[in-house]
Structure 1
Amino acid sequence: MKSVAVIGASLAGLYAARALRAQGFDGRLVIVGDERHRPYDRPPLSKDFLTGTTGQDQLALADAEEIAELDAEWLLGTEATGLDTGGRTVLLDGGRSLTTDGVVIATGAAPRRLPGPPPAGSHTLRTLDDAQALRADLTRGPVRVVVIGGGFIGAEVASSCTALGHHVTVVEAAPLPLVPQLGDTMAGICSALHADHGVTLLTGTGVARLHSGGAGNHVTGVELADGRLLPADVVVTGIGVRPRTAWLAGSGLPLDDGVRCDAGGVTPLPQVVAVGDVARAAGTRAEHWTSATEQAATAVENLLAGSTVATHRNLPYFWSDQYGVRIQFAGRRLPGDTPRIIEGSADDRSFLACYERDGHPTAVLALNRPRPFMRHRRALARAAQPATA
């Protein structure tokens, strides 16, 4: 394999490029990214960057020295529009094309949006440009912010807006946020963080439409499905993401809520692998920072070998910072698993809880208990490893 193209210049794409060089690939390496920025860290966008305590220069995932050592051609501000798997050609915007021996698909995911054109003052938060636009709207003095979606991104944005002194309302269509991730009991405890800090949480209702007006067609309110109208100066929509696979239509690759691949990231075409948010590996698509970084080395090893010689099965792990509380979760929780607080107190918003199934631990959740959490996470990871002779 003399040339490899990494399509996607964010976290998973960068880690794939690093893995290629670390595993001895010394051929032509091309990294294509639709954003104009080099790889940067996304988690701070909804937290420290939004509040102004972290600057853009602190988000970079690679410094100038590492960029030089990668010895890659960077095609930034360039969008992939198609993949000709027969000719091993990546089609690019502007009628350009890129012929390559191997392809790493790392195009990530895009935020779901409300129907219709968004008025001024209405935001999603996925990219650095998104965060810069939202931060600009939040620097105009105290404003009324409505966050649509009570998941982790929505909760982090609500927390940041509250820290900046804004009046915040969170709207969640489900009866309670975070139930799929944490279960009813623990989701209820985490959702109480909103009320602890003066944020209004409205659950069990969706959004009918946004109201706007004036010369700039600026958002003025959020009409709920039950008829209520919430005044709003800024609206942030955080209702999930979709894997970015539209550019792969007609390529012959199997697309089903992501690029279908095996546990090693290998698609039915061994010269094409997928990593990160866009990869549906062995039937599962993970949208977490850790998964994006850990999948890359395995997928690249298989790409260079020309077949699946290694598989990756990580223990799911994610974290969220809200209202000064660090929430950490690791494991594979099923709906019937029972959580039990084994350290600390839910009333203090500082505790460690283990989920159990038939007397065996399956997952662990911590609020502001990082050290004991790491011990339990390591134990779960060891237990999840297949037995060896």
Structure 2
Amino acid sequence: MSQEYKLKDISSLASVSPYEKREVEVEGIEDGKVLLLNHDGQVHALSPRCTHYGAPLKNGVVTPDGRLTCPWHGACFKISSGDVEDAPALNALNKFDVFEKNGAVYIRATENDIKSGQRDPVLKCAASKAEEKVVVIGGGSGTISTVQTLRELKYPGSITIISTESDYVIDRTKLSKALIPDASKILWRPKEWYEQASIDKVVDEVTSVDFKNKSVSTKSGTKFPYTKLVLATGGIPRNLPLPGFKELGNIFTLRTVEDVQKILGALGDSKRKVVVIGSSFIGMEVGNALRSKEHDVTIVGMENAPMERVMGADVGRIFQRNLEKNGVVFKLSASVEKATPSDDGKTVGAVHLKDGSVLQADVVVLGVGVRPATDFLGDAIKLEKDGSVATDSHFLIPESEDVFAIGDIATFPYNGPGGNGAPVRIEHWNVAQNSGRAVAKAIVHAQRAPVRSASVKQFIPIFWSALGAQLRYCGNTVNGFDDVVLRQPEETKFTAFYTKGETVVAVATMGMDPVMSKCAELMRGGKMVSKKEVKDGVDVLQVGV
């Protein structure tokens, strides 16, 4: 039951200035804290930590339209309620009544709510008898956000997830960063959560979709009818079509928990020689994680600097130096020729480069990108050249008013800075999650009207990576960039502004929280500073959103 708790070191709500975020202790609760925030003349009391990875929200960004954005990964909450507004958070913040009494400030709460710092926004849902049926194909971040938001918005129909992965949705970002082999440690939601929300999960492989008759067929021979269908099948890691790579063992891609288990099983308990092919974010994260386990790691990349095309050479070399300090070796401007076997003739023994170099290898991990997992669609709809599915800004496919595509398989119009509505496919965790939220809103708000009339809020893509230090990135270079304005180019601290003409189209940071989150909000509101302002030394943290 709720009771009154006094807040320490504050006697008046008037002492909290407009837009101030103040973390205060709660008397009588060990380690109990709340965040006081003055927005639009009213002081609100919220849980003080982001529900995603626990970032201190006192360092977050407050916007005039009542959003509180996490300083680390861009998760956003509604100040008036604590509800989730943007990915990657799934749980809402707890919101507390706050008031003055006898010359002190109090909140009304339960001890558990203060300590937990978050709440599951989904209420229990009885099994539905409604005619509406949503089927979601896939088991990633787009899926969890779609089904959760549907139930948040009290969608009355049945919800079925069809996925080839036996586990419920995991935090896939931790696979490459930490090589966690136990799915139970990285589940976003336990099995019981899906059961309480009346969300069915089927482990099966979708083989075809009948768009005319609105049904999905699977490998087991089962058919699933739908009234709304969400395609969220993600990506398939690419292999190398080179001699040895298909035939030899101990050559792996990384996408699932099972992949992590196989990699760690091949490594065993001894120190091994590992070759990572691809200086992508996945490749570098895996390489860094394996080096931390004392293995000898060499990363092979085709560019002059890691991620040069996406991040620029100067920033790429910062990544490289960070990993080299950890003992990772790089072979750059390199092309792979073939893989040859070890003495057993079955497993990989070496990777050969076109310059004649030979890299001894007990294990090889491929980080050469993914392709859209759309093979099951066959000729049912026209795919883009890269195999993705074209959608409109509501993530609807052109062929149907009832089918959406999100995540790694979706090509959609991007209207962030420099985007100008150009079609883009973005393989970011938070893009899939936010598009899933948007699709759920479109479904619920348009059950008896064309879904194309549903409004959807533009979001700014965000991603993060662990490369010796925490990288944060917002925006997108869909139309390229012609310059990078780099501030404080140190190994673990910098801000990089990617510009196209005078427009800042993307921002990357290390050790500069919450600059990235502030820039994302500026971009979202159309108030991002110009290249000239950046070069003149403007402090984006002081720019109003």
Name the TM-score, length of structure 2 as normaliser.
Answer: 0.66
2:275 is the alignment partner of 1:146: yes
2:428 is the alignment partner of 1:288: yes
Q: Which amino acid aligns with 2:357?
A: R
Q: Distance in 2 between matches of 1:193 and 1:292?
A: 29
Q: Distance in 1 between matches of 2:379 and 2:516?
A: 45
2:473 is the alignment partner of 1:329: yes
The structure-2 alpha-carbon separation of the partners of 1:380 and 1:236, relative to structure 1 and needing over 3 Å to count, comes to: same
Mapping of 1:1-389 within 5 angstroms? 2-50=132-180, 55-76=182-203, 78-115=204-241, 116-215=245-344, 217-257=346-386, 258-268=388-398, 269-282=400-413, 283-304=423-444, 305=446, 306-308=450-452, 309-323=454-468, 325-333=469-477, 335-342=480-487, 345-383=488-526
Which SS does the other structure have where 1:147 is aligned? strand
1:266 and 1:273 in contact (8 A); partners too: yes
Q: Distance in 1 between matches of 2:385 and 2:167?
A: 29
Which SS does the other structure have where 2:162 is aligned? strand
Q: Report deviation, 1:364.
A: 1.7
Q: Report deviation, 1:224.
A: 1.2
Q: Distance in 1 between matches of 2:504 and 2:328?
A: 34
Q: Report deviation, 1:357.
A: 4.5
Q: Distance in 1 between matches of 2:300 and 2:248?
A: 18
Aligned residues: 378
Q: Distance in 2 between matches of 1:336 and 1:267?
A: 29
Q: Distance in 1 between matches of 2:485 and 2:284?
A: 24
Q: Distance in 2 between matches of 1:336 and 1:30?
A: 41
The structure-2 alpha-carbon separation of the partners of 1:380 and 1:327, relative to structure 1 and needing over 3 Å to count, comes to: same
**Aligned Cα RMSD in Å?**
2.1
Q: Distance in 2 between matches of 1:296 and 1:336?
A: 28
The structure-2 alpha-carbon separation of the partners of 1:249 and 1:138, relative to structure 1 and needing over 3 Å to count, comes to: same
The structure-2 alpha-carbon separation of the partners of 1:13 and 1:197, relative to structure 1 and needing over 3 Å to count, comes to: same
Which SS does the other structure have where 2:151 is aligned? helix
Q: Which amino acid aligns with 2:460?
A: L
The structure-2 alpha-carbon separation of the partners of 1:217 and 1:150, relative to structure 1 and needing over 3 Å to count, comes to: same
Name the TM-score, length of structure 1 as normaliser.
Answer: 0.91
Q: Report deviation, 1:251.
A: 1.4
Q: Report deviation, 1:301.
A: 2.9
Q: Which amino acid aligns with 2:407?
A: G
2:206 and 2:219 in contact (8 A); partners too: yes
Q: Distance in 2 between matches of 1:108 and 1:89?
A: 20
Which SS does the other structure have where 1:320 is aligned? strand
1:260 and 1:279 in contact (8 A); partners too: yes
Q: Report deviation, 1:101.
A: 1.6
2:194 and 2:200 in contact (8 A); partners too: no
Q: Which amino acid aligns with 1:362?
A: V
Q: Distance in 1 between matches of 2:518 and 2:409?
A: 30
Q: Which amino acid aligns with 1:223?
A: H
Q: Report deviation, 1:355.
A: 3.2
Q: Distance in 2 between matches of 1:98 and 1:210?
A: 43
Gaps of 5+ in 1: none
Gaps of 5+ in 2: 1-130, 414-422, 529-545
Task: Out of 191-200 and 333-342, give the one that drifted further.
Answer: 333-342
Q: Distance in 2 between matches of 1:214 and 1:26?
A: 61
Q: Distance in 2 between matches of 1:120 and 1:262?
A: 42
Which SS does the other structure have where 1:94 is aligned? coil
Q: Distance in 2 between matches of 1:165 and 1:294?
A: 37
Q: Distance in 2 between matches of 1:255 and 1:93?
A: 25
Task: Out of 260-269 and 372-381, give the one that drifted further.
Answer: 372-381
2:280 and 2:307 in contact (8 A); partners too: yes
2:480 and 2:500 in contact (8 A); partners too: no
2:336 and 2:354 in contact (8 A); partners too: yes
Note the alpha carbon deviations across 1:282-306, whole angstroms, 9 max, x for none: 2211100110110012223334424
Q: Distance in 2 between matches of 1:213 and 1:97?
A: 46
2:134 and 2:226 in contact (8 A); partners too: yes
The structure-2 alpha-carbon separation of the partners of 1:96 and 1:253, relative to structure 1 and needing over 3 Å to count, comes to: farther
Task: Out of 370-379 and 137-146, give the one that drifted further.
Answer: 370-379
Give the structure with the higher percent helix: 1
% identity of equivalent residues: 26
Note the alpha carbon deviations across 1:108-159, whole angstroms, 9 max, x for none: 1110012252522111111111011112223331111100000100000110
The structure-2 alpha-carbon separation of the partners of 1:312 and 1:139, relative to structure 1 and needing over 3 Å to count, comes to: farther
Q: Distance in 2 between matches of 1:360 and 1:278?
A: 28
Q: Distance in 2 between matches of 1:380 and 1:265?
A: 21
The equivalent residue for 2:33 is none
Q: Which amino acid aligns with 1:329?
A: Y
The structure-2 alpha-carbon separation of the partners of 1:312 and 1:126, relative to structure 1 and needing over 3 Å to count, comes to: farther
Q: Report deviation, 1:335.
A: 4.2
Q: Distance in 2 between matches of 1:296 and 1:99?
A: 20
1:30 and 1:74 in contact (8 A); partners too: yes
Q: Which amino acid aligns with 1:300?
A: A
